[in-house]
Amino acid sequence: MRIAIIGAGLAGLSAACHLARSGHQITVYEASDAPGGRAGTVGGDYIIDNGPTVLTMVELVEEAVSAAGSRLSDLVELIRVDPAYRAFFSDGRTHDGEGSIAVYADTEAMRDEIKLLAGEKEADAYLRFVAHLARLYEVEFPNFIDRNFNSPLSVLRPPGSFYSLLRLRGFSRLDKVVSSYFKDDRLRRIFSFQALYAGLSPLKALGIYAVIAYMDSVKGVWFPRGGMNQVPRAMEAAAAAAGVRFEYGARVERLVTSGGMIRGIELSARRFVDADVVIATPDRPLFDQAALPNRRIPARLRYAEYSPSAFLMLLGTKESSPPAFAHHNIFFGKPWKESFEALLDRRELMRDPSVLVSLPTITDPTLAPEGKGIVYALEPVPNLAGKVDWLNERGQVRAAMLDRLQKWGVLSDPSAIATETTIDPLDWLDRGMALGTPFSVSHRFFQSGPFRAANQDPRYSNLLWAGSSTVPGVGIPMVLTSGKLAAQRILEAGGRS
């Protein structure tokens, strides 16, 4: 069977690895000239990631690479990032006098840190919270995330798992669950802000999204030597070694159909390639509309609600990273509820935003010339359905970010900047991402699990989808799983050839 995979991002690479040894003839068509997609880099003297910086659940990368017959450790060196984060609070109220707390994945180290910050009771509550997260993860991952659904009712099967999720307060509000363990407002923030990764307010998300905190703050965070793009490069190498073909600079313009089936793909330059099955990973619905212009996109995507977007500032600096910081730093703005109302309800810029600042040269100094550093700052901002006029306001957003970086001491002075790149929602739109957000359709309950646009296309039985806009969703662990789930559908339907 000839299988065409469109896109060499993490979803397409995962599908390629999981199918690599099936005996089918597999080709990956990628529009750009390198693997990685959103997990890419800005090259030059400084190797700066311009997408994900927090690598969790490395076992999913290992699983894909070993499905293709390779060993991950032979292809890339993964370094444990410990602490996973350092969280900074604007009022400076912490035991270290710097206004910060380290978030360790090691449970005992984290318990000690919480004891110093907030006392014995909160430290004991942390142990109970971790036990809760572990139980939630055990039920949720196999039954709600790592699973193909054939109908919304499948969420009720097996019945035991659904009731376990109910009992674990998976359908209660996340902030209520977290607050039932912690009285300290700073700890409540640290263990609930991750809902934003799913495009949700931590104050409105359901308890099931606590698993994101489990994936990073408890299971731990890793960084590949050489930058995040080394992960897709390792996966590409594993798939290629098992016989998968890769074509770069190969933009798929259209899916060729006849008789209710996909017959192949049309690349730019009017080149046609036959395919028996297609796995498409570009962002929907823009790709869907362009590639199948005569078909309406499924209703779940037509009326979908999208996640907020991100403003990125990527700096190569003439100075090394200041030692007071960790690799990943979260600077919490003072307001909490008001910030999420601004971002998600009113769709405005947050007045005093929480910002992720990643300083990867703390873990891997070779990413920058000797003695120099990298600053990656990410501010959540509204997507293009919001009220920001990016053409006119991007300059102010940039200036405000530079001011903050200086105020926090991450950057001594703008004259220390050697290279600068900024990416805002208009840039994400230029890269083919609907509503200018790289975080796709949000994860509110009726856009998650069996309610999210399915990976089996309802119009063509030999068209499958993988990536952020289908199941299970957004983020590296999710899109790796999405590639595996699409591959599983093929292996289960056609068997191994």
Find the shortest distance in angstroms from Cβ 382 to ligand FAD. 15
Find the shortest distance in angstroms from Cβ 494 to ligand FAD. 23
Amino acid identity of residue 288, one-letter, is D
Give the integer Cα–Cα distance in Å for 8 and 31: 9
Residues that bind ligand FAD (CB under 6 A): 6-12, 29-32, 37-39, 51-54, 251-252, 281-282, 287, 310, 312, 378, 432, 438, 467-468, 474-476, 479
- C-alpha distances (whole Å) from 165 to each of 132, 417, 418, 452 are 11, 49, 50, 18
- What is the three-class DSSP state of 65? helix
- What is the three-class DSSP state of 52? coil
Q: What phi-psi label fits residue 14: left (phi over 0), alpha (psi between -120 and 50 degrees) or beta?
A: alpha
- Token couple for 307: 């996640």
Using the minimum distance from each CB to ligand FAD, give the nearer residue, 450 or 473. 473
In 3D space, the residue among 373, 378, 377, 379 whose CA is nearest the CA of residue 416 turns out to be: 373
Find the shortest distance in angstroms from Cβ 428 to ligand FAD. 7
Q: Characterize the bridge pairing of strands 2-6 and 277-280.
A: parallel
Using the minimum distance from each CB to ligand FAD, give the nearer residue, 20 or 252. 252
DSSP state at residue 98? S
Using the minimum distance from each CB to ligand FAD, give the nearer residue, 37 or 436. 37
Find the shortest distance in angstroms from Cβ 188 to ligand FAD. 21
Using the minimum distance from each CB to ligand FAD, give the nearer residue, 356 or 368. 356
Residues 144, 145, 146, 147: is their CA dihedral positive or negative? positive
- 3-state percent breakdown (helix, strand, coil) of the chain, nearest 5: 40, 20, 40
Using the minimum distance from each CB to ligand FAD, give the nearer residue, 249 or 369. 249
Strands (E) across 177-298 are located at 221-224, 245-248, 252-258, 261-267, 271-274, 277-280
Using the minimum distance from each CB to ligand FAD, give the nearer residue, 125 or 357. 357
Using the minimum distance from each CB to ligand FAD, give the nearer residue, 298 or 477. 477
**Residue recorded with tokens 């046609």:** 272
Find the shortest distance in angstroms from Cβ 160 to ligand FAD. 29
Using the minimum distance from each CB to ligand FAD, give the nearer residue, 298 or 473. 473
Find the shortest distance in angstroms from Cβ 197 to ligand FAD. 7
In 3D space, the residue among 80, 70, 364 whose CA is nearest the CA of residue 236 turns out to be: 70
Using the minimum distance from each CB to ligand FAD, give the nearer residue, 206 or 265. 265
Find the shortest distance in angstroms from Cβ 378 to ligand FAD. 6
Find the shortest distance in angstroms from Cβ 209 to ligand FAD. 14
DSSP assignment string, 134-180: HHHHHHHIIIIISS--SSGGGGG-SHHHHHHHHHTTTTSBHHHHHHH
- Token couple for 70: 């390779």
- C-alpha distances (whole Å) from 393 to each of 120, 384, 396, 397, 399 are 47, 13, 5, 6, 10
Give the integer Cα–Cα distance in Å for 289 and 285: 6
Using the minimum distance from each CB to ligand FAD, give the nearer residue, 29 or 149. 29
Find the shortest distance in angstroms from Cβ 12 to ligand FAD. 6
Residues 73, 79, 80, 84: is their CA dihedral positive or negative? negative
Find the shortest distance in angstroms from Cβ 370 to ligand FAD. 27
Find the shortest distance in angstroms from Cβ 420 to ligand FAD. 16
- Token couple for 343: 């971002």
